[in-house]
Structure 1
Amino acid sequence: MSVVSTIDIKSVATRTITREAEAVASLLPMVNADFERAVQAIVETKGRLVVSGIGKSAIIAQKIVATLNSTGTPAIFLHAADAIHGDLGMIQQEDVVLIISKSGESPEIKVLVPLIRNFGNTLIAMVGNIEAYLARQADIILNTTVSQEACPNNLAPTSSTTAQLVMGDALAVVLMELKGFGSDDFARFHPGGTLGKKLYLHVSDLYVNNECPKVLSTASLKQVIVEISKKRLGATAVVDTNDQLLGVITDGDLRRMLEKSITLQLDEIKAAEIMTKHPKTIHADALAVEALDLLRQYDITQLVVTTGSTYLGFIHLHDLVREGLI
C-alpha cells in the first residue's frame, strides 16, 4: 500500500491552510497602538532597521528585510547567533532593532537583548508570547501570538511563522505608503527580471528595433503586398506624405478582401480601399506592459506606434515574448 494512501491528503492540506488563515486573521486586533509606535520609530530613525532572529524566525527576518529594502525602508539582517559571536558591530547608534521570536525565551535571544539595551537602541519585539523575556525587555511589542501551529504535533513553526511574515508585510506596506513609495521608485529598485521590465520597459525601447512598413493611400495592391512581405511584421501602415496615420492593412485584411466578391480588377485596388481606418495604436512613451494589455484585450498581434497622429512604427507580440513579459 502506498504511504500517501494512509492519510486524507486533501483534508490535511485544507486543515493546514485553515489554521494558518485563522492565525493571520487573529493578527487584526494586534494592529494597535504598539504597531503604530513601531512604525513611527522606524520612520523617525536616521539609521536603519536591524532585524534579527534565530531558527525559522531568522528566515522570516531575512524575508522581511528583503521586502523592506525593496520598498524604500533601509534594513539589514543580523542573525542572533552571529550577533553574539562578533557581528554585533553591525548595529549603529541610530538604528532601530527588531527581534523576531515565537517563544521570546531562546538562549541566544536572552544573551542578545541585554547587549542591545546597553547600546540604547530602540528595541521592537515581534513575539508570540507577550509574557516572555523578550517582550518584557522590549520598548515596543508586536504581538504575533497564535493559538495553534498547523503542525499536527503543535510543534513545527507553521502558523507562527506565517503570522510573523504577515506582520512584517503589514509593516513594510504601511512604511511604503507613508514614504510615498511609488511605481517609479519600485522600478529603480527592481531593474532586473520580468518585474523590472514591467515597470521601466517602454514601447519606444522596442519598436525601434523593428522594420517600419508604410505605404501611401494611393499604393497599389502589389505595393502593399510587397511592403508587408519585405518588412515581415504581418502588416503595414497607410500614411499620407507627412507620415500622418490613415489606417493599417494586415495579412488578415488581404485574405478577407480576396474572400469577398469584388468588382474591381486586382491591379486597380488601392491601399485606401482595403485599409482598416482607426487602427489600434499606442503612444511611444507608454509602458510595454500597456501594449501587452491592449494586444490581449483586442486579440491582435501588433499595434501601430504613434506620437500624436504621426506614424512611428509597429510593436509586435513577438517583441514582448522576447523580453519575457509573457
Structure 2
Amino acid sequence: MSMAVVIHAAAVIERMLNLSSLPLILLALLSAVYVILSSSKKKADHLPPGPRQWPIIGNILHMGKLPHISMAHYAKAHGPLISLRLGSQLVIVGSSPEAAAEILRTQDRFLSARKIPSGMKYKHVDHDSMSLLWATKCGEGWKNLRTLCRNELFSGKAIEAQASLREKKVGEMVEYVRSRQGQVVSIGDSVFTTVFNTLTNVLFSKDFINGLEHKGSAAGGLQSLTSRLVELSAVPNVADFYPIFAGLDPQRLYARLTKTYEAACALWAPHIRERRETHVPAAGGDPQDFLDVFLENGFDDHQINWLLMKEKDMLFVPNPKP
C-alpha cells in the first residue's frame, strides 16, 4: 500500500470524526435503526398482541414460576390470543373456549402437528409415522396410527374389556394393605406397583413387578427409571429456545434422555422378542393385548419400543419423588 493511499485514508477518517460530520453519522445510524425496526414491525403486524419482547431472550422472563398464571394475566391485558417469543421461537397462546375450539377443532388439520423437543429426537424414531404426540405433520402415517389407536387400543370395547383387570389389581392392593394391619405400609409404593402392573398387563399381559411389597432392585429400579424420564422431559431445554444449539446439547438432556429411554426399552425387549417368536396372528379373534396389535400390524422393534413408551406416558405418569 502506497504512502499516498494511507494518507488519504487517514484524512477520510479524520473528516468522519470531525464534529461537523458527527450529525451526519448519527443520522445515518438512526436511519438504519428505523429501517430495521420498521421491517421487524411489518413482519409482526399479522401476529396477535402480547407483552413487550426483550432482545435475544424474548418473553422468557415473563413466564414466571407459574406460567399458567402469567398467561391468565396476559389474556386479560391482550385478549384471548397472545403472541410470545421464547428465545428465538414464536409461540401463540389461545386462552379462551372460543380460541381453543378454533385451534383444536376447526383448524385441527393445520395445527395438530408438533414441534419435537430437542431431547426427544431419538435415532431410529421417525416421529411422523411412529408417534401421535410428536408428529411434525398430520400425514398418512399419523392418520393410520390414530385410526389404529382409536379402533384397537382406546375404543370403548377395549377399555371395557380392561375393567376386570383394573378391578383385580385394585382388589389385590386393598387385600395387601388389609393383611398388613398394624404394620408400616408405603401406600405410594403399593399404588405405583398396582398401576404399573395394570399397565404392563394391558401392554404385555403380565406383571413386571412381583408382589406388592416393593422390595428388591426390580421395583425400585423401575420406579426410579420412570420418574427420571418424567423429570428429564420436564426440564426446560436451551436448545428448544435456540435451535442453533441443538447439536451441542448444552445441558446434556438429549444424552441423558436417550440413555434412560434405551434403559426403559431394555426392560421389555425380551418380552417383545419372545412374543415375536411365538406370535400367531389372530384368526378373526380379538388381539390379546397392545403388543399383539403392534405385531399384527407389522411394526418393527423400534416402532414398538417408541409406541409402548408413548402409551405408557399417556396412561401412566408417576409423581417424581422429591
Give the TM-score normalised by structure 1. Answer: 0.22
Between Structure 1 and Structure 2, the one with more helix by share is 2
* Higher percent of residues as strand: 1
Larger gyration radius, structure 1 or structure 2: 1
